[in-house]
A and B are shown apart, each in its own frame.
Chain A
Amino acid sequence: MAEPVLLRRVGHVDPTRLEDYLAWGGFEALRRALLRRPESIVDEVKASGLVGRGGAAFPTGVKWEAVARESRTPKYVVCNADESEPGTFKDRVLMEGDPFVLVEAMAIAGHAVGAEEGYIYVRGEYIRAYERIKNAVEEATRAGFLGDHILDSDVSFHVHVYRGAGAYVCGEETALFESIEGKRGQPRQKPPFPTTHGLFGRPTVINNVETLANIPPIVLHGPEWFRSLGPEDAPGPKLYSVSGAVNAPGVYEAPMSVTLRELIEEYAGGVRNGGRVQAVLVGGAAGTFLGPKELDVPMSFSGLRKVGAALGSGAVMVIDEQVDMWEVLLRLARFFAHESCGKCYPCQLGTQRQLEIVRRMASGRIRYQDILRLRDIQATMADASICGLGQTAGNAILSGLRVMGLDVS
């Protein structure tokens, strides 16, 4: 396994000390970025091929370019640190172990797109991560890496740290804006997109924690280097959160050519008690179950698409043969019924009906008609919900049934 890029400081530095970050090359990328024209940074991020690591895999440079071209000010840079996808904990590990990298990345983004204010929205249950980020912002401001005239340049950038309050849907970017604005965290209808109408209705770049952590290395080492770190169609390093029935659960960094089997057997130490895989939930609750015959799939966007799955946040939850799959499906159905925000009906009603049916099936009444109903609900939610929550709320249930041999397609 190669030298890590994203995790290289995690566990090796005191995350509360700016001196440690500086000793490991911290803020060198910002220093260099400030000497360059904003457009050249945007071009470099585009050329790197970096795509969002939060789940939607949108090209980061394209987002930045759209906001940079907006003439309306103020503009904002927002970091989506509301990591709530079940089975995903990579952003927490980064924030707890290397919080300054986020601060540096946001200041670079601010310079690149012409924003002077940034917001970091940290998940409410991530208390330690919130404190570390808050401390990092304060320390960086004190040392002149944030604030007015950063490092005596004509660039200014201020960062506000917000804490979520327990709502999965706030990980959806427009719901997150609503939440910062002091409203119920319900997603907005899109378009318009955040690049023109984001936080407070202004042009906004919103990026996930892991996405931003890639920015300083790209500025330091260039897009060619970044592209060399992964397969042709999936450049750069990726963090995978591996958990469940494995011997060594944790966050692992790997190129996206890594297979699901390698992640489970080589990185996470294999299935516990020498057992066998029953199913693997890839991408979190919004993701897809794969069966034991599908473990050789490469964990890249295109690789997973070929088997009808999506990389999403990079969560890998391993279910071994000792586990009752019905109990797992019941939890997933309950999760969506609880977290649906209620704004649009396909999701509000669909997640409730889905839970009722899964409950019925889990109690032993397996009927052909119910499986058809679940398919109908999933299709309706996928087509007609306004945000990703409803659009993906039926995936895990249907793919779980498929792995269990209850496929009716």
Chain B
Amino acid sequence: MTEMTVDWQRVDEVIARWAPKGRAGLLPCLEEVQEITGWLSPEVSRRVAAGLKVPLADVFGVITFYSLLYERPVGRVIVRVCDDVSCFVNGSREVVQACRTYLGIEPGETTPDGMFTLETHPCLGRCERAPFLMVNDEEYGPVRGEDVPRILDAWKERVRSE
């Protein structure tokens, strides 16, 4: 998402709601703002810092510490494949491979059209459904490599129709 298309009004509303909490409102504020903006750009961070009266350097420090907060643009759809012990034992490598083939990118990368980001993830805590796949907020498991194209096709459709 480019800065041009950011809905600043909604962002400022979120910041205003958390401002009374000050620094203790920083984490939830960043999480909610990111739901609107997709990632936390320098401009977004500056607004949060000013609104919550937290030094900008500390805001950057927090953003870079947590793996669910993004300081760089990411795809509109984030594909997280669990590749931890229980998922590996149940064939997660095949799922990772299917995602790489379908998307044409490596884990950590975003497709050139900005639609998908692929991540391999430490244990997602759904070990009874291994191998497990999470696409944005939706859960899939157990999944096989052959299920991946159908799942991601549906997400393509969903994003295009939004």
Q: Are A249 and B83 in contact (CB-based, < 8 A)? A: no
Q: Are A89 and B127 in contact (CB under 8 A)?
A: yes
With A and B bound together, what is the CA distance between A179 and B27 in angstroms? 7
Closest A residue by C-beta to B34: A165
Q: How many Å lie between the Cα of A126 and that of B68 in the bound state?
A: 12
B86 at the interface (CB under 8 A from A): yes
Residues on the B chain within 8 Å of A123, using CB: 125
Contact: A182 with B26, CB < 8 Å?
Answer: yes
Which chain A residue shows the least CB distance to B58?
A: A183
Question: Which chain A residues lie closer than 8 Å to B61 at the CB level?
Answer: 183-184
Q: Given A317-B86, A319-B89, A328-B85 in contact, is the A166-B27 Cβ separation under 8 Å?
A: no
Q: How far apart are the CA atoms of A323 and B90 in the complex, in Å?
A: 9
A75 within 8 A of B: no
Instruction: Please tell me if the beta carbons of B86 and A243 are within 8 angstroms of each other in the complex.
Output: yes
Query: B37 CB to closest chain A CB, in angstroms?
Result: 15
Q: Cβ of A60 < 8 Å from any Cβ of B?
A: no
Known: A179-B27, A244-B130, A317-B86. 15 other contacts (CB 8 A): A124-B31, A125-B80, A125-B121, A128-B139, A182-B23, A183-B23, A184-B61, A250-B128, A285-B85, A285-B123, A319-B85, A319-B89, A323-B88, A323-B89, A331-B85
Within 8 A of A (CB), among B77-122: 80, 83-86, 88-90, 121-122
User: Which of B's residues lie within 8 Å of A, judged by CB?
Assistant: 22-28, 30-31, 52, 54, 58, 61-62, 65-69, 80, 83-86, 88-90, 121-128, 130, 134, 137, 139
- CB-CB contacts below 8 Å: A210-252 with B: 241, 243-245, 249-251
Interface string of A78-95 (1 = CB under 8 A from B): 000001111111001000
A327 sits at the interface (CB 8 A): yes
A335, B124: Cα distance in complex, Å: 12
Name the residue on B nearest A186 (C-beta): B65
Do A245 and B125 touch (CB < 8 A)?
A: no
Q: How far is the CA of A86 from the CA of B62 in the complex (A)?
A: 24
Report whether B134 and A125 are in contact in the complex, using a CB–CB cutoff of 8 Å.
yes
Chain B residues within 8 Å of A124, by CB: 31, 66, 68
* Whole-angstrom distance between the Cβ of B46 and the nearest chain A Cβ: 16
Which of A88, A92, A125, A331 is the most central at the interface, judged by chain B CB atoms within 10 Å of its CB?
A125
Could you list 7 A-B pairs, sorted by A, with CB under 8 Å? A124-B66, A183-B23, A183-B61, A200-B24, A244-B86, A323-B88, A328-B88
B57: min CB distance to chain A, Å: 11
- With A and B bound together, what is the CA distance between A331 and B67 in angstroms? 18
A contact residues around B67 at 8 Å (CB): 165-167
For A166, give its contact among B54, B68, B85 (CB under 8 Å): B68
Q: Which of A26-76 contact B (CB under 8 A)?
A: none
Tell me the bound Cα distance from A183 to B26 in angstroms.
Answer: 8
Contact present for A182 and B27 (CB under 8 Å)? yes
Number of interface residues of A (CB under 8 A): 51
Contact mask A187-200 → B, CB, 8 Å, 1/0? 00000000000001
CB atoms of B125 and A281 under 8 A apart: no
Alpha-carbon gap, A123 to B66, bound state (A): 12
**Chain A residues near B22 (CB, 8 Å)?**
182
Identify the interface centre among A92, A200, A251: most chain B CB within 10 Å of its CB.
A92
Residue numbers in A under 8 Å from B137 (CB-CB): 127
Known: A244-B86, A245-B89. A125 touches B125 (CB 8 A): yes
Name the residue in B80, B123, B130 with the highest tally of chain A Cβ atoms < 10 Å from its Cβ. Answer: B123
Contact B62 A183 (CB under 8 A): yes
Query: In the complex, which residues of chain B have a beta carbon less than 8 angstroms from the beta carbon of A318?
Result: 89
B93 to chain A: closest residue by CB:
A327
